[in-house]
Amino acid sequence: MDYYLILTALITLSAIFGYINVRFLKLPNTIGLMLITIVYTLIVFGLSYFDDTLLQAEIAFIRQINFKELLLDHMLSFLLFAGAMHTNFQQLKVQRWPILMFSTLGVLVSTFLVGGCVFFLLDIFGLGVPFIYCLLFGALISPTDPIAVLGILKKAGVPKKLETKIVGESLFNDGVGVVIFLTIYQIAFGSGSVEVSEIAKLFGVEVFGGVAFGLLLGWITYRLLKSIDDFDIEVIITLAMVMGGTVLAQKMHISAPLAMVTAGLMVGNDTIRQTAMSETTEIYVDKFWELIDILLNAILFVLIGMEMLVLVYDKNFILVGLLVIPVVLVCRYLSLLLPVNIFKNKLDFVPKTNVIMTWGGLRGGISIALALGLSQDMHRDMFLVITYIVVVFSILVQGLTVGKLVNRILSKNKKTSAN
């Protein structure tokens, strides 16, 4: 595999599509890039009726890329560190308990609700699938994607305290979602049963181990940054921390994404910034990670659009996928009811927080990556098509309208209060 050629092609496509979006469409970059890539892919499909040379070349290219490995093992750590570093730490601290419940209990409840509904829906269409595989789908589609959420909420005009809940939840619930997915996968792939002690060990090692390792990495990075004043080397130190920390976390079988979220929150904390970085260093570190964030986001959403090339198109799969969209939304709404009702009076929640978090909880590359990790026995082709439909709707429709929804709810609340 020619990695340089693949990277060159992806960056070139990202630059071309990004230019078209900024010059003509003027959509948020994540939405615009994926929309243009999908349109481009559909054009390639159309041309294939006359000459399929380009289509075959595109399929050969996309099959060289291991999307699951690229996103979960490499890109995700960079994107989560960059996102966490620019998250309001004080607001996150205030909202920590609802965020904890959203990212644990919310994901678990949604997994079983979605899994149960999809099980009955598939049975209606004569696509009978064992319940355990439907639970796998519930686990992979329930976590909201921090990459999609971070990229879109910045321009949606969401109030800061609500943005913190949605972003904080999305930063942490992918790690929890992956643990739930792996546990159910082990049950489905193995003997059919897993001891409670094994689940607790997996959760403890992956989640708590990842957070603890992230705290250690953040502390070491802080001490290194504090001991020198050279913005060039300090930028390199943050980069080495993410790269080296990801490799070590994977070797220790702990959650690298959660480690990077924790380390990013530490390095981005205002108190640590003021004591460890000069004003010049802050500017360079922030700009460097903003550039990394923009570049990897661009590549990721181009890749999501191009995944259309390797889907297995079946009319029943597509129809079920369209029906699963409202199922996923309703299940997310129900899974958030308990945490929202517990904390809404204590923390002064924005009106209709549940509705906004349901519509603003976007799905993205993580769900597709997990779907790609299913085996053929687990109905991989069908669940991949369904996942792709939910993700595309989530980013293009929900992503474009979440700002309008928030403005409408807040405006209506102001009028009610005035009366």
**pLDDT tens column, 114-151:** 999 999 999 999 988 999 999 999 999 999 987 777 66
Q: Are 107 and 140 in contact (CB under 8 A)?
A: no
Band of residue 195 on the pLDDT scale cut at 50, 70, 90: low
The yes-or-no verdict on residue 365 having pLDDT over 60 is yes
CA atoms within 13 A on the CB side of 329: 16
The yes-or-no verdict on residue 249 having pLDDT over 70 is yes
Q: Mean pLDDT throughout 103-123?
A: 95
- Cα dihedral sign for 339, 344, 349, 351? positive
**pLDDT tens column, 73-99:** 889 899 889 988 888 778 788 888 999
pLDDT value at residue 168:
87
**pLDDT tens column, 377-386:** 999 999 999 9
The yes-or-no verdict on residue 196 having pLDDT over 80 is no
Token pair listed for 233: 């080397």
Q: Which residue has the tokens 């980013």?
A: 395
**Most confidently predicted of 55-64, 97-106, 230-239:** 230-239
Q: Are 317 and 137 in contact (CB under 8 A)?
A: no
Of residues 162 and 336, more confidently modeled: 336
pLDDT value at residue 419:
61
Q: Mean pLDDT throughout 156-167?
A: 78
In angstroms, the CA 63 to CA 416 distance is 54
Q: Mean pLDDT throughout 301-315?
A: 91
CA atoms within 13 A on the CB side of 88: 15
In angstroms, the CA 336 to CA 24 distance is 38
Q: Mean pLDDT throughout 227-231?
A: 95
Q: Are 43 and 227 in contact (CB under 8 A)?
A: no
On the 0-12 / 13-18 / 19+ scale of CB atoms within 10 A, 400 is middle
Report percent pLDDT > 90 for the chain. 56
Region 67-418: CATH code? 1.20.1530.20
pLDDT value at residue 36:
95
Got the DSSP string for 57-73? HHHHHHHTS-HHHIIII
Q: Mean pLDDT throughout 107-117?
A: 96
Phi, psi at residue 89, to the nearest 5°? -65, -40
* Annotated domain spans of the chain: 3-63, 67-418
